Amino acid sequence: MTNDAIRGSSDRSVLILTSLAEAPKHGYALIKDVEQFAGVKLGAGTLYGALAKLEAAGLVEALDADDRRRPYQITTAGREHLRERLTESARIAELGLRRIATGLA
């Protein structure tokens, strides 16, 4: 869990879950949202590689396709997983910042 947490917000699955925590989105909307809030440009292959893993783990689920595009939504287990990951990341970030500050002093 700690290793996972250290990867923190750069982890693609965290970015995708964070985006889906707002509302269900299809691939293009997901890429644009992640680019907007994290400055990370995901490609189609990268995005669906991560989505496939998340879907297999039961963290996201596909909704019915509209206009040939399939939206994805975060599941309850996905929200819980995201909460755990972000809480751990925040704890480590806070600790790191405190140590940097102490080191500078």
Partner 1 sequence: MIRWLLGLYPRDWRRRYGPEVAGLARQLLQEGDTTPLRTGLDLLGGAVLAWWAVALEWGALAVAGLVIAVGGGTAALLVVAEGTGIRAAGAPGAYLAAHPLGAGFVLTEMAWWAMEVTQVIRVRRAQHRLSAPETPALRSARRECWFVLGACCAAVTVVVNVIPSAAPAATIRPGGLVAAVGIGALLGGIVLRGWSFKALGTWYRSFTVTADPHQPVIDSGPYRLLRHPGNAGAALVAAGIGAASGNWIGLAVLITLPLALVLWLSSVEEAALIVALGERYRRYAACRKRLVPLIW
Nearest of 36, 8, 11, 10 to residue 22 by alpha carbon? 36
Q: Residue 35 Cβ, how far from partner 1 at the closest point, in Å? A: 9
**Residue number, 6 or 102, with CB nearest to partner 1:** 6
> Which positions lie near partner 1, rule CB under 8 A?
4, 13, 27-28, 31, 41, 43-49, 51-53, 56-59, 68-70, 75-77, 80-81, 84
- Distance, in Å, from the CA atom of 83 to the CA atom of 85, rounded to the nearest integer, reads 6
Q: How far apart are CB 63 and partner 1 at their closest, in Å? A: 12
Q: Which is nearer to partner 1, 6 or 95 (CB)?
A: 6
Instruction: Round to whole Å and give the CA distance between 82 and 77.
Output: 9
Three-state secondary-structure class, residue 23: coil
